[in-house]
Amino acid sequence: MIKTENIEKYFTNGNEWNHVVKNISLAIPLTSFTAITGKSGSGKSTLLNLLCGIDQPFKGRIHINGNDITSFSKRKLTKWRNAEIGIVFQSFHLLPSLTLIENVMLPMEFSSNKKNKKSRAAGLLQKVGLENKANMFPDYVSGGEKQRAAIARALANDPPVLFADEPTGNLDTENAAHIMELFLALKNENKTIVMVTHDLELAGKTDKIIHMKDGQIIEGPAAAPRARGAGFI
């Protein structure tokens, strides 16, 4: 279960405070696929960054699979992130000086399991359909291929939970559909996926939509018929 209790986030520009996440309590069950939608500036990425421990709430608690990540030290949080979650970004964040397979192997370097890194990374690239591009550098593959490599990297340490921030934002419709197929397949392999997206059509393919407005969750577009109870508490 991914659970937040009354989380709050403010940003300041030095003069005034911007209340970006307002007292959000939510619960997302494991092995579900949830979309976070809402207008630009509504707080989607900020909420996602809090859920994956990239950022800290000003107030409130965040529990991921029984871990209160808001109680973790920086060091523990980094270790937890590397082992327990995968993150996919809109702009891929691949290291340009490493080949695709080296990018996928990178998180394994910081894991307790360093065995068979290359064959595990090759298996992940095969899973995302990039077995023939393993030795290419990111600058020489397409946007869709970069994102598939980024997903393979997010899966490097076989985390139960994947967070994705606008993973299809830089892709055309066909590539976006391919990325969605991958996420849906991963959900069927019992991964828990939380994805920020502007795209209501893509969001409609998930189990549940969490709709944000002005830092709060509001009742949004209907969830897909196979919704499995992700929601608010």
Binding site for ligand ATP (CB under 6 A): 11, 18, 20, 38, 40-46
Tell me how far, at minimum, the Cβ of 113 lies from ligand ATP, in Å. 34
> Whose Cβ is closer to ligand ATP: residue 18's or residue 113's?
18
Tell me how far, at minimum, the Cβ of 176 lies from ligand ATP, in Å. 16
> Whose Cβ is closer to ligand ATP: residue 42's or residue 82's?
42
> Whose Cβ is closer to ligand ATP: residue 40's or residue 190's?
40
Question: Distance of CA 54 to CAs 49, 118, 128, 179, Å?
Answer: 5, 28, 26, 23
Tell me how far, at minimum, the Cβ of 59 lies from ligand ATP, in Å. 16
Tell me how far, at minimum, the Cβ of 16 lies from ligand ATP, in Å. 11
Question: Would you put residue 60 in left (φ > 0), alpha (ψ -120 to 50) or beta?
Answer: left
Cα angle value 41/45/47 (rounded, 5°): 105
Contact between 70 and 41 under an 8 Å Cβ cutoff? The reply is no
Tokens matching residue 99:
């080949």
Tell me how far, at minimum, the Cβ of 106 lies from ligand ATP, in Å. 25
> Whose Cβ is closer to ligand ATP: residue 41's or residue 229's?
41
> Whose Cβ is closer to ligand ATP: residue 84's or residue 165's?
165
